Structure 1
Amino acid sequence: MTTDSAAQAPQALATPELAPNTVPIVGRSAPFPVRRIYCVGRNYVDHIREMKEGDERDPPFFFQKPADALVTDGAVPYPSFTDDFQYELELVVAMGRTPDADAPHSVLDCVLGYAVGLDMTRRDRQRECLQQGRPWEAGKSFDASAPCGPILPVEVAGHVLSGALTLHVNGAVRQQSVLEKMIWNVPEIIVQLSRQYQLMPGDLIYTGTPAGVGAVGPGDALVGRIDGLPPLEVTITASR
């Protein structure tokens, strides 16, 4: 008796070809394809005191968000699994080349440009992770948690290492500080990250948030500004 080998063969899984998530680059037709999203935790003293977490003298630490958490169209859906959805305004660094951690004087040469970003956070889930000594993924690494504005290339405006950052929610100021108050500045962040990972073109680095974080809900409009950069405007929409 013969068997139909074709009928018995396992079917191949259908794997869709996904285009990389991208961020517009000011003045360029080709966007920035995002490889990884790194975030710096606790990089402003006032935010550490606000959250009552950690030692102000601690070295920087990092967590990641998936590349498909990126949002560039201005619509951020209120996520599931939270009752405390909060914003964190941040300077974003876009890497154009791989830096050398042993040559700290040259790491800025590897930066393609800068943007305004929001590290959206399920604060209740993050607090649970902290209390239980678990990683932060439940609080930080979820869908649509990484809004990012257009990238301004270094050749247009130089390096954005100082200046004011301000977040308005429904027209009211909620966060206001200056980049100079970072505990770890941009070159130091790049060096520290490069000792732990191989940074590559396409990597985004969210550099930490100042005090003033708070909750938002559907219908709220957020406008983040950092001196010299295109603003980031997002609206919180209903859950998906």
Structure 2
Amino acid sequence: MSATEVRPRLHPGLIASVIFVCAAAMAAAVLIIRKYCFPVNDATYRYSLLQRQEERGTTLAEEGGDDSGMDYFAYKEDQTTPAPPKKCSVEKNCPPDSFAVRIKSGAANVVGPTICFDGQIVMSHVKNNVGPGFNIVVVNRETGTVDKSGYLNSKSGQSEDIINYLRAIEPGKIVLLATFDDVTPKLTDEIRDVLESMGSTLIKTVKSKDNWVFAGRPGAAEKSPFEKMTINDSKKNMYEDWPEVVEISGCFPKNS
């Protein structure tokens, strides 16, 4: 009579426990490798998030879909507020002898700037009429109409063309400016001088990848209070090699 061979059997619960422990160990290993071998700092994360937001916004704009998530690109009023919307989302209603203005620089080299004048968004990423360099709007202060707008290209443009454009702006016109990307490749001392003559006090200090916004007028008798900049500082940047967005708003006087 032959002895019956008895083979040990593993309990199903034990098998499941082993599989779970192995999966957890693999997941932990992936997280450790990603954290210490491929570190992602906050600035890098924000930059990638900005890129994804821009891609989503571009897709929605092209498809004509809902743009409710695109507050980075356009100014919107709170639809639940019964009061009439304020022009350019300025905190207060501007008096008749001034214009509502809001100017927002670009975000890194991803999202373009926004320039709003007297309730009209003249230039923005959504409108697809912005570009690298100085984005500019020139306004007739008497009528409040936009004479011209565009961007002075800091990549493929010529410094001579930029300086000629700025010098051709007639005294008394209102000039609104916002940077996008890096403006310094074509930013000469002559250009800085002309912008300074419009009332700027910061343009002489603008360096590579700084963000700068400004509102002034040629032949200004006084320095403009409508000016701000954020500095490119690797220790403080919001988006990798780029500082945070800078913005100004308020009531720009018709005569100053």
- Scaled by the length of structure 2, the TM-score of the pair is 0.21
Larger radius of gyration, structure 1 or 2?
2
- Scaled by the length of structure 1, the TM-score of the pair is 0.22
Task: Specify which structure has the bigger relative contact order, considering alpha-carbon pairs within 8 angstroms and separated by 6 or more residues.
Answer: 1
